[in-house]
Structure 1
Amino acid sequence: MLIGVTVMVGMRWHRYVTQSDTPYDEVGITLNGYMPGPLRSWGCHKMQERFPGALPPYGCAAADGRSWA
């Protein structure tokens, strides 16, 4: 059961990072916050490529809150 939940959460996070229409999806932001550092960093970088003119979502913002980390 734990493996199934892990796969479902991982797939939902991956779909948020690679296919979401917006970087501000609340569930995606929350899941991204729970990811280990390297995965979270990859996800933020991928979303920055997909949404270059958007403000970064929570967890992907630099200290100023307006630029991508």
Structure 2
Amino acid sequence: MSRFLVILLLCLVFVAGSVGYRYLSWVLNWQGAETPFDEVGISLHSYMPGFVQDWGCAKLKEEFGDRTMPPYGCRGDSGWR
């Protein structure tokens, strides 16, 4: 039984690390994208808690600023939230 729990824990850590890495690569623009409109990044953003979403939108605004519209989830009444 303990072997099963270790394997389950390793799988959970791997999944959490993969999701976290993918989200950070979108928010911090590690690939050097021209726009913030990445479907996977936007989808992951919608599942993040509020304070992480606020941080992510602030980082995206720093990177892309007024060059483009904000992606879904970062739109406010007058542009970026």
Aligned to 1:40: 53
Structure with more strand by fraction: 2
Counterpart residue type for residue 69 of structure 2: L
Identity over aligned pairs, percent: 46
Counterpart residue type for residue 3 of structure 1: V
Counterpart residue type for residue 55 of structure 1: M
Q: How does 1:29-68 map to 2 (within 5 A)?
A: 29-53=42-66, 54-62=68-76, 64=77, 67-68=79-80
Runs of 4+ displaced beyond 3 Å: none
Unaligned segments of structure 1, at least 5 residues? none
- CA root-mean-square deviation: 1.1
Q: How many residues align?
A: 67
What TM-score do you get using the length of structure 1 for normalisation? 0.90
Aligned to 1:25: 38
Alignment partners' CA distance in 2, 1:61 and 1:31: 16
What TM-score do you get using the length of structure 2 for normalisation? 0.77
